[in-house]
């Protein structure tokens, strides 16, 4: 089974956890894409009635195209379950997200959800966080100063670019990735990044996930975390 098939496997597995008449947070990325596809199928074939809260414009477009009703997060009073991908998950189930530059919306939707499920192929598991660069969404005004501060701290910052142009998020901001390689104390780092003016949100998702579905060639493994 290649990586794409593992992503599909966990996306479709996760869709089975979605119940009728619920409000569902829809993640972003190449794995979450399969979740949305599976939910689109269930909507058509089983008449599944859900309201989706999308974590990006991309996901919103895909979900609408498949006939899933979408509401803005501020139009709903709760979210029952959010299902999303992740870039790295440590052995104590902390995560890095934002590889698709959507972590601000993803975190906002996640922390306002009763339950969170992450779906990943087995390559995303590691002992300690940090092998995946840590994404920060940064407000453009003053961003060069934020960058310099991060550099002085030896956090190896790089503005994220695509075709030599800075990546712009759904909020109109930049992304700075920190190449840290090993994050010894994610809680301490999260607090420090939270305190820097100009960083809208970082990609450390701590104490958030309830269930992880990991794709393996012999089938998905479901891990109940909390």
**CA nearest 142: which of 180, 223, 195, 196?**
196
Give the number of residues written for the chain. 226
- Of these residues, 60, 106, 137, 201, which one is catalytic? 106
Site string for ligand 5RP, 4-33 (x = CB under 6 A): -----------------------xxxxxx-
Stretch that binds ligand 5RP, among 43-51, 70-78, 82-90, 186-194 (CB under 6 A): 82-90
Q: With binding defined as CB under 6 A, does residue 201 bind ligand 5RP?
A: no
Q: Which residues contact 180 (CB under 8 A, 6 or more apart)?
A: 130, 133, 134, 155, 156
Q: How far apart are the C-alpha atoms of 150 and 142, rounded to whole Å?
A: 13
Q: Are 98 and 165 in contact, with CB atoms under 8 Å apart?
A: no
Least Cβ distance, residue 213 to ligand 5RP (angstroms): 12
Q: With binding defined as CB under 6 A, does residue 177 bind ligand 5RP?
A: no
Site string for ligand 5RP, 93-112 (x = CB under 6 A): ----xxxxxxx--x------
Q: With binding defined as CB under 6 A, does residue 220 bind ligand 5RP?
A: no
CA torsion, ordered 80, 83, 87, 88, to nearest 10 deg: 70
Query: Which active-site residues does the annotation give?
Result: 106
Site residues (CB under 6 A) for ligand 5RP?
27-32, 84-87, 97-103, 106
């Amino acid at each position: 089974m290649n990586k794409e098939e593992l992503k599909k496997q966990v996306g479709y597995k996760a869709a089975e956890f979605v119940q009728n008449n619920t409000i569902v947070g829809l993640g972003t990325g190449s794995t979450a894409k399969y979740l949305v596809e599976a939910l689109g199928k269930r909507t058509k074939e089983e008449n599944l009635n859900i309201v989706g809260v999308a974590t990006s414009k991309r996901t919103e477009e895909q979900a609408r195209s498949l006939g899933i009703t979408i509401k803005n997060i501020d139009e709903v009073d709760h979210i029952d379950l959010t299902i999303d991908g992740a870039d790295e998950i440590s052995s104590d189930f902390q995560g890095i997200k934002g590889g698709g530059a959507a972590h601000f919306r993803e975190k906002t939707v996640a922390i306002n959800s009763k339950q969170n499920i992450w779906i990943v192929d087995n390559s995303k598991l590691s002992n300690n966080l940090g092998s995946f660069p840590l994404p920060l969404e940064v407000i453009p005004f003053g961003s060069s100063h934020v960058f310099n501060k991060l550099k002085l701290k030896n956090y190896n910052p790089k503005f994220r670019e695509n075709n030599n142009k800075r990546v712009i998020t759904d909020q109109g901001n930049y992304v700075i990735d920190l190449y840290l390689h090993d994050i010894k104390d994610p809680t301490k780092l999260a607090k420090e990044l939270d305190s820097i003016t100009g960083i809208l949100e970082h990609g450390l998702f701590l104490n958030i996930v309830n269930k992880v579905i990991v794709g393996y060639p012999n089938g998905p493994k479901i891990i109940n975390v909390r």
